[in-house]
Amino acid sequence: MLDFYFDFFSPYGYFGSTRIEALAARHGRQVRWHAFHMRSVMKDVLGLVQPLTALPLKGDYIRKDIRRVARWLDVPYAPGDAAAFANVAADRAFWLIHDVDAEAAKRFAVEVFRRHHALGDSPRDEQALMAIAVATRSDVVDLPTLLQGQACKDRLRQATEAAMAAGVWGAPTFVADGEVFWGVDRMPMLEHWLERGGW
């Protein structure tokens, strides 16, 4: 087993999502996907109240780096409007679907990532998320109503606390046998770890 932690808004998480299943399969592992609310972790753990891309210098670096990494990995990248993307609702919808069918939740996540980061066609509201859930054959029948309730908010909060308890503070993060790897640029190291059983 291998755990993959992500938040839909993160391009690096999107890049990781396109590679993690194949990486795990090469080592006979299955992947559990976990959406978490990264902005609250960044605020509570790192004391960051603004997105990294708003920082001087580091923000410029990251904006350029995202496009460079996309080209390096040969992953399509043409993001939609981040401000319009119903990112937190997507995180919550992931868990609503997941708790009925974890595989359907993965299909949903792949499509949400693709729509926002690769097609520039960001899901903007609960109806758009519902359409993706239907298109990816989820059994959750009334996503828009469920997304208004308190239960799905609590579920994401609980998932975010569980992520932090597992040592997660950034996205994407991969955990194998308790060993934590942060960042898409650590996937080669994660793969070495799986090959060698640690070092």
**Residue 76 binds to a second copy (criterion: CB under 8 A):** no
Q: How many residues bind a second copy (CB under 8 A)?
A: 30
**Residue 51 binds to a second copy (criterion: CB under 8 A):** no
Task: Specify the stretch interacting with a second copy by CB under 8 A; choose among 9-17, 94-102, 115-123, 182-190.
Answer: 182-190
CA distances from 195 to 9, 27, 102, 183, 189 (A): 31, 7, 26, 19, 10
Minimum CB separation of residue 193 from a second copy in Å reads 9
Residue 166 · residue 175 · CB < 8 Å: yes
Say how far apart CA 189 and CA 164 lie, in whole Å.
21
Residues in region 29-48 near a second copy by CB under 8 A: 41, 45-48
Task: Specify the stretch interacting with a second copy by CB under 8 A; choose among 95-103, 131-139, 153-161, 163-171.
Answer: 163-171
Residue 110 · residue 152 · CB < 8 Å: no
Tokens for 125? 């509201």
Tokens for 170? 């950034």
Task: Specify the stretch interacting with a second copy by CB under 8 A; choose among 76-84, 124-132, 141-149, 187-195.
Answer: 187-195
Buried b (16+ CB within 10 A) or exposed e, 78-98: ebbeeeebbbbbbbbbbbbbb
Catalytic residue positions, numbered? 10
Nearer to a second copy, 34 or 106 (CB): 34
How many residues belong to the chain? Answer: 199
For residues 168, 170, 176, 181, the Cα torsion angle rounded to the nearest 10 degrees is: -130
Nearer to a second copy, 146 or 180 (CB): 180
**Residue 162 binds to a second copy (criterion: CB under 8 A):** no
- Return residues touching a second copy (CB under 8 A): 41, 45-48, 55-58, 60-61, 64-65, 68, 71-72, 164, 167-170, 180, 182-183, 185-186, 188-189, 192, 199
